[in-house]
Structure 1
Amino acid sequence: MSQTTPSKPLPDPSPETRPYWDGLAEGRLMLQRCADCGSLRHYPQPMCAACNSMATNWVEASGEATVHSWTVAYHPFHAAFRAELPYVLVTADLPEGVRLLAQLRDATAEALRPGLKLRIGFEANEAGLTLPVLRLTGA
């Protein structure tokens, strides 16, 4: 019996998250900002956690980041990611005050340390969506 690899689960962009996905496709990380209190949030959410407002606008992130923490994935959370193992997931602090979780590219976990400077990159996947990735500033 042959095993077939299932398709990767894909995000389903909604009208509320469309600016985020459109920004990624243009090579920009867009962050939601509460139109009432000014709080930034990432990932896109329908309501502000600070004031419960539903009013939103969008601002572009600087593209800079620093390592907060990381993990190496040796087991896929979904069978479609098995061929990519192992991969490094980095939680990065952005100067805007939010965090980004993304895969590390062009480096290994041994190169990381808390506070290390990173830059945000963008990669299109086989489904035509662009996702953020993280790279060392010199890579």
Structure 2
Amino acid sequence: MLNRKTARQLIRFGAGAALGGLTLAVATAPAGNTAGPSFTRVQATFGQQVYTTSCQGCHGANLQGVRGPALVGQAFLSEWANGKRPAAELHAYIAEKMPRNKPASLTPAQYRNVTAYVLSKNGYPAGNRSLSAATLKTPLVPPPAR
């Protein structure tokens, strides 16, 4: 069950997404966040909803991998969070090739939200700025220790 503040944030974000996939902010990641791009909890929450309907069948309820590869864990982090690739590459892969049975079928906002959800499930902390083209330029390094 959502509290009122979260519900209001979801409504505001949904309205922005409905107006052309706008993000809440387009600034770069906050100072000190060297692990990954900035995204909000609201984005990750929306991303979880999209993941459940469009991704879970292949990647599992816990992103553990079923027919598709795991989207969490050491193998995933070794591939994507080695400091050599920006988050934009992960996002582009998701946006261009997923879901496998209907590639590029989601909205730009949905792809950003799913990317935020995957990052959150890998231990990257949510911030106060939305995932955007600018923040996706951030190279992915391993997330901070939990």
Give yes or no for TM over 0.5.
no
Greater helix share, structure number:
2
Over alpha carbons, which structure has the higher Rg? 1
Of structures 1 and 2, the one scoring higher in RCO (CA 8 A, sep 6+) is 2
TM-score (norm 2): 0.24
Between Structure 1 and Structure 2, which shows a larger proportion of strand residues? 1
